[in-house]
Structure 1
Amino acid sequence: MALVVIFSGTVELTVLGTLRPDFWVQIAVVGGFFFALHMVVRFLAPYADPVLLPAVALLNGLGVSFLRRIDMDRAEAAERAELPIFSGFGGRQLAWTLIALVLAAALLIFIRDHRVVSRYAYTLGLAGIILVMIPAVLPAKYSEVYGAKLWIKVGSFSIQPGEFAKLALLVFFAYYLVRKREVLSLASRRVLGIDFPRGRDLGPVVAVWLFSVLVLVFEKDLGTSLLYFGMFVVTLYIATERSSWLIIGLLLFFGGAYLAYLLGSTVGGPFANFYLRAEIWLDPFNDPYEDGFQLVQGLLALGTGGLFGTGPGGGQPDKIPEVQNDFIFAGLGEEIGLFGLVALLLIYLLIVERGLRAALAVRDSFGKLLAGGLAFTLGLQVFVIVGGISKLIPLTGQTTPFLSAGGSSLMANWMLVAMLLRISDAANRPVTATPVARTSGGSPVPAKLHGAETEVIRP
């Protein structure tokens, strides 16, 4: 939080030329929220990984601070000094942060053992599919934003159900693969030193691939399609330890994406939106003032920032459309430079690494698959959005976890972190041995098991 306060103070000095006496209040409030969750974790999950919460709090705090910086940039010059602390994108993000932390605390309170959720795996899997498909079947005016049907909009209220669907689907994937891992691990033939599975075992992968294609068709969003399919394939790889599943998954996805691009050239077809995004990706400067405007402005912002950035408050984030959502990484990059962005990516990498460490340390197979899937999902989401902004892959419309404005992403990702905290607590909790009762002479007292005298022998 000290780093966030320094960032906020530098923004005010740059934008206003002075430090207001209450510039620190917003960060103090969000810091109080994080401290409250820290106390909940200490009491309910005392052996949880101590790095996860501070790392995520730093990202979330920087997100709140930079969104307030965007509010100041969009306000009239005469009104910036009087801009209320709890207004605009920054104020709303502060409110969403409170709600997200309450949900994370509730998850830790009600789920004392991560294995409990496996009992509801099929219910959660069905709920996840329903949440994904609701925007697809709604009329465009209730679900579509910039060509992608990912939302449920009612008046001024909107929510992105797919953010919560990924958590439900991950629980189902982990439970299903724990039960089927032995069958899916069987190999039929070896090609170039890699054991490939039997043809009849490809059913689950093909089914999830078709599901991801349907998401691409009906919701017109490559990022969500890639996220769901990637979650399943990587969880499958963790379960079976066979690299052939990764190869099959990559071939299926990229083959499907290329086919969608070829079919998308038809005007008004189901893949037209994906085709447009691919064309923008291939040459954004072909139409820099219309279709390619957002990507071009993002690239110009990154170029302007250079290695060290223009300094907090020294950029022009208002030049980038939707900088508070999809392109917040580009807006930050202009002000903190390449070195600052690499530092943020390292924080994300640290969170993912800690999640994978919990997956390695936890003792049950379900926990291993769930923690590995959660950690990978967070990393994949960061890759998808940063790859789109930097023109590595086509734009996907995903939000940057913990940084971008929006309640759905923030709540779902904090719940993801809470589940990782719960699993890491189970992984690090010492195994308590049951003491053996002994007589006054030191010999063990025989215990009774189903009516028979039993002696417990320990090395």
Structure 2
Amino acid sequence: MKALRKLRPAQTQRNRELGLLLFVFVINAAALALVQLGVQGAIDSTFLVYCSALDVLALAIHVVLRLRARDADPFVVPIATLLSGIGIAMIYRIDLNGTAEGWDMLAVRQLVWCAIALAAALAVVIALRNYRVLFRYTYIFGFVGIGLLLLPFVPGLGLEAGADVWVSIGGIVSFQPGELAKIALAIFFAGYLVRTRESLTSVGTRFLGITWPRARELGPVLVIWAVSLGIIVLQRDLGTGTLIFGMFIAMLYVATGKTSWVMIGFALVIGGVAIASQVLPYVNSRFQNWLNPFDPANIDANGGSFQLVNGLYGLAKGGFIGTGLGQGRPWMTPLSQSDYIFPSLGEELGLIGVFALLCLYMVFTSRGVRIGLAGQDDFGKLLATGLSFTIALQVFIMVGGVTRVIPLTGLTTPFLAAGGSSLVANWIIVALLLRISDAVRSRPRVVIG
């Protein structure tokens, strides 16, 4: 009886996950069907069958969790599956208004990349039995992260595609190494902060009611700040630089509990962006498009505020309930399947729809933070919190950029936007959160017999 009581909570978690997944499959299939009805007036079962392969992979992850990680969080996989499915539906919807067919359709590529991402998450869950082993390789992950960020500068690998953040393998597969770098750096930051936590929390100078750290503790923060600025300057990638520095400051705050680090981080971000906006033409143009998007001098389809203005018009067109899937004109905005997928969804799903998507991100992030705070292991706590905050910050940067809350940067909206490297990286984050949550909740089990 005692063994049954031990196993019942874990079984309940997995049953809850299965129920949510089945509900998600229905929503994703309905979204695709509505897209086809809205654009074509009929349902084509071929693409629906292809998308069912993702359902099979998601169920495979569920089965593996039921066998090997029964205490893993039951909400993470369903939320990621739903967001990925909605993203594919919107990309497919925009494809239907173009002339691309077969492999040239971004939806087909996104479908393939999503399958690869789910397979990668499945491999991580199976191979990584104990996430604490990552702590042993803290500095190796740091070097790997920096190496991934430098890959675009390797002759023969880098691609000229706006910001210098893309690499190509054999001229066939292209990806953004920065997406994988954020995971490697999150592991490095977690391990580094666990090792240096005592010195970082040492007594400093009391000023304005806040204990400020000593000058020698500021060294690591200034180094990460300089690396982030280097990314902005050399790769012309404001988004990745901001994301990495924000992730480090968030993990630093969790490790030390000192608000002074947050204030220092904000001051460094504001100072760095202010300097970059005056010195770098790339950053300056972003600010001009943000501050004066409707200025005729800035509305330029080749790099001005044309995209931003069209995205805002699309959101306005959607109103409260949206035009309906397949009923809007999101393709009129350049990069509506990638950078501007959120306005595309806002046009057809309306304020209610995008609010629901933001709620999904909020729940995903809160589950990750809860996983971190529930653990007794400092490394797992920092890693789970850092990875969750990375997703939240990336959503804020992209949604804030397309809605003109902040200047737009070159990131992707997690799980939704077209992009293979982003999908793979975010599903690996899902796998890591699953492994950490299972370790946090696991209890010694009594074996009968």
Q: Does the TM-score normalized on the shorter chain lie above 0.5?
A: yes
CA-atom RMSD, angstroms?
Answer: 1.9
Provide the rounded CA distance (Å) in 2 between the counterparts of 1:156 and 1:296: 33
**Equivalent residue letter for 1:108:** V
**Equivalent residue letter for 1:29:** A
SS of 1:144's partner is: coil
Deviations 1:107-135 (CA, angstroms, capped at 9, x unpaired): 11111111001111111100100111222
Contact 2:88–2:107 (8 Å) recurs in 1: yes
Are 2:283 and 1:274 equivalent residues in the alignment?
Answer: yes
Task: State the partner residue of 2:181.
Answer: 165
Structure 1: runs of 5+ lacking an equivalent: 77-82, 264-270, 435-459
Deviations 1:153-172 (CA, angstroms, capped at 9, x unpaired): 35242111010011111111
Provide the rounded CA distance (Å) in 2 between the counterparts of 1:226 and 1:433: 48
Task: State the partner residue of 1:288.
Answer: 299
Provide the rounded CA distance (Å) in 2 between the counterparts of 1:27 and 1:102: 15
Which of residues 399, 411, 415 in structure 1 aligns to 2:412?
Answer: 399
Contact 2:57–2:119 (8 Å) recurs in 1: no
Are 2:295 and 1:297 equivalent residues in the alignment?
Answer: no
After superposition, where does 1:7-406 map in structure 2 within 5 Å? Answer: 7-22=31-46, 24-75=48-99, 88-136=105-153, 138=155, 142-146=158-162, 148-154=163-169, 155-263=171-279, 271-286=280-295, 287-290=298-301, 291-406=304-419
**Equivalent residue letter for 1:399:** T
**Equivalent residue letter for 2:239:** G
How many Å apart are 1:431 and its aligned residue? 4.1
Seen in structure 2, the aligned counterparts of structure 1 residues 234 and 433 have a Cα distance that, compared at 3 Å, is: farther
Q: Name the stretch that deviates more: 18-27 or 94-103.
A: 18-27
Q: Highest CA radius of gyration, 1 or 2?
A: 1
Contact 2:51–2:111 (8 Å) recurs in 1: no
Provide the rounded CA distance (Å) in 2 between the counterparts of 1:23 and 1:120: 43
Which of residues 406, 419, 422 in structure 1 aligns to 2:432?
Answer: 419
Provide the rounded CA distance (Å) in 1 between the counterparts of 2:145 and 2:382: 18
**Equivalent residue letter for 1:201:** E
Contact 1:48–1:425 (8 Å) recurs in 2: yes
Provide the rounded CA distance (Å) in 2 between the counterparts of 1:274 and 1:417: 32
SS of 1:150's partner is: coil
Deviations 1:26-75 (CA, angstroms, capped at 9, x unpaired): 33222122111211222221110001100110001111121111111113
Q: Name the stretch that deviates more: 184-193 or 123-132.
A: 184-193
Work out which structure has the larger RCO, using CA pairs closer than 8 Å and 6 or more positions apart in sequence.
2
How many Å apart are 1:104 and its aligned residue? 0.7
SS of 2:50's partner is: helix
Provide the rounded CA distance (Å) in 2 between the counterparts of 1:30 and 1:94: 8
Provide the rounded CA distance (Å) in 2 between the counterparts of 1:131 and 1:407: 16
TM-score (normalised: structure 2): 0.90
SS of 1:74's partner is: coil
How many Å apart are 1:200 and its aligned residue? 1.2
How many Å apart are 1:433 and its aligned residue? 8.8
Contact 1:136–1:218 (8 Å) recurs in 2: no
Contact 1:9–1:23 (8 Å) recurs in 2: no
Contact 1:221–1:274 (8 Å) recurs in 2: no
SS of 1:277's partner is: helix
How many Å apart are 1:25 and its aligned residue? 1.8
Contact 2:190–2:251 (8 Å) recurs in 1: yes
Provide the rounded CA distance (Å) in 1 between the counterparts of 2:42 and 2:446: 61
Count residues in correspondence.
419
Provide the rounded CA distance (Å) in 2 between the counterparts of 1:364 and 1:21: 48
Larger helix percent: 2
